[in-house]
Amino acid sequence: MIRAKLSKLLKWRPQLSNGLHYIALLTVCATFVLIIAGALVTSNGAGDSVPDWPMSFGRWLITSDHFIANVRFEYSHRVIAGSVGMLTLILAVFAWLRESRVWVKRLALAVFGLVIAQAVIGGIRVHYPGYKAEIAIPHALVAQSFLALIVSLVVFTSRKWFEPIGSISDKPALSLRSLSAVTTIAILVQLVLGAGFRHQAFGILPHVFGAVVVGFLVFLTATLTLTRHKESYLQRPAMAVIGLVVVQIGLGIASYYARLASINDPQPLEPMVSLTVAHVATGALTLTAMVVLTLRIYRVLSPAKATVELASREATV
Amino acid sequence: MSMIRRLCLLAAVAVLLGTVGCGNKPDEGGPGTNDNSTSGANFKPTGNEGTISGKVNFNGDVPKAKTIDMSNDAYCAGKHSGGATSDAITVNDGKFQDVLVYIKSDGLSKYKFDTPSSQVVLDQTGCMYAPHMMGMMTNQQLSVKTSDQTNHNINAIAPNGDGFNEAQGAGAPDKKVKFAREEVIPVKCNQHSWMKATIAVFKHPYFAVTGKDGSFEFKDVPPGTYTIVAFHPNYGEKTATVTVGNKESKTTDFTYSGNPTQAELIAPSGLALADPFVISMPVAHHH
């Protein structure tokens, strides 16, 4: 009997794996905390406070006399990163065992690969403190890409994703599918430009230009979504992303002026630190909302061109 | 660093992914490698040498010293019971302290100068660097010590691969290091982000950091025409051209004024800087 139960358990392959969804959701939350922890490291100038890697001061678990000053930020960042890595491993294993869609399995594995790459880039950053800007930028890019992919997994494993949805045709003029994809990429690029400015790889101008472009694209995408489609499935993320961008622009201006005002401070101080961290966190949330919106648009809307061709064929018949 | 080099580095990160275990020092020119030798002969005083001296003045209102928050380390805070403030900009009766003054090396290229056998010491005391501006000669020994009963990390970012970042706990042995080339090296403790120092390395002995009276003096200067540079991390540099004849004593003064104009440490004339993005902010002293 036990054997039969075990056999049944091993053969269990549900189409909808709630467990995978919740693990992905937990990983997204942990990643968000990790991004905040990373922003605290950068904003407090704590990036090189622990000179070795992968261990910290030659140990995996440091003692309380080491856990002081800026080491608190750097070591916490490492511990949270380790937790995210473990969660991602669990996610990948769970997806491999329980998920029936091969592409979701591969995506979960790719995400795990990305978290490993991110850890190694972080390690290189520690070992080469002289090249902090050059290494910190890819570190930020991989961090945000990782977040986007984990958010994608949450969407792909959500209950709503499996529900039958009537196909709605996208419009050929200003296709929401294309526009949302471009906007998502623009937000990702803008987050990297922000990291470049924070790590002093370049000045503020690229980030300001990026803010104008992203602001316009988000406004356009969200407005078109809200005016063309009344489904809450699309309206909610559209409203979220536009609200987050408004908050984000305000935080960006505030954190920049706080940085200017603190330029001769002997150390990173408030309110510059909190404003910068809030700006980074809101940036991550904006990307999250935009990824959700984009994937839902792709789920709900059929390609405009295909629809036109189909309509044309039907007319011919 | 050029844009091309930066782009190459960005591309190289992918390649570096598998190389973390290689260590943290590029192969090029480690400590002890001497590329600062000139084509000239060893300098031997002839008795005709002159002297260049002067003062660095500061006119106008001196920016108010900024308060330092040491609350993240109880030991550090306990060392400054009256509170700590930045002394990056220290002016005493119009005399500017802690300004680096030196002769640009190109005027001395026909000479080689012996490396002093004495060592220079950078101390971490009361969670601050003492001194926070210092000069030394190439291949001279620098000893970084800690007098504190807390942990520090010494992050020296040198342009030619001589840099290092090492932890130094209470009672740890001194970190001994030599720098092979003329360069300016920002030193930071990232555990206590207010701790910053600047080390300038020269091929010759004609450098000084102004004291409380803002004065400097170079003795035994071979006759010739030189560019004298005064450099302050927050106020940038000023230069003067001085010609010294046989046994002459020349005086040249520098005057700074106004508000700090630089948030980032730039390379002073004739010296290389590892990373133009390294912020050199004020350092601290206690009341």
**pLDDT of A132-187, one tens digit each?**
788 888 999 999 999 999 999 999 999 999 888 777 888 878 899 999 999 999 99
Q: Is A64 on the interface with B (CB under 8 A)?
A: no
Residues of B in contact with A72 (CB under 8 A): 72
Would the pLDDT of B238 be above 80? Answer: yes
CA–CA separation, A91 and B26 (whole Å): 38
| Residues A35, A122 contacting (CB under 8 angstroms) | no
| Mean pLDDT of all residues in B187-210 | 96
Nearest 5 degrees, angle CA B282-CA B286-CA B287? Answer: 125
Residue A52, token pair as written in the block: 């070795």
Give the distance from residue A269's alpha carbon to the nearest chain B alpha carbon, in angstroms. Answer: 8
pTM for this model (two decimals)? 0.84
**A-interface mutation test, from B193, B196, B232, B264, most A Cβ less than 10 A away:** B193
Return the pLDDT at A11. 52
**A-interface mutation test, from B152, B153, B234, most A Cβ less than 10 A away:** B153
Q: Is B261 on the interface with A (CB under 8 A)?
A: no
- Among A241, A124, A45, smallest CA distance to B277 is for A45
Give the distance from residue B285's alpha carbon to the nearest chain A alpha carbon, in angstroms. Answer: 11
Binary contact (B63, A264; C-beta < 8 A)? yes
Return the pLDDT at B23. 35
Nearest to A134 among B9, B24, B73 (CB): B9
Burial B95-111 (b: 16+ CB within 10 A, else e): bbbbbbbbbbbebbeeb
Give the distance from residue A54's alpha carbon to the nearest chain B alpha carbon, in angstroms. Answer: 9
**What are the angstrom distances between the C-alpha of B160 and each of A22, A256, B274, B287?**
50, 33, 7, 37
Would the pLDDT of B25 be above 90? Answer: no
Give the distance from residue B108's alpha carbon to the nearest chain A alpha carbon, in angstroms. Answer: 30
**Mean pLDDT score of chain B, rounded to an integer?**
83
Nearest to A200 among B10, B13, B277 (CB): B277
Pairing of β B111-112 and β B41-42: parallel
> Domain extents for chain A?
18-163, 166-317
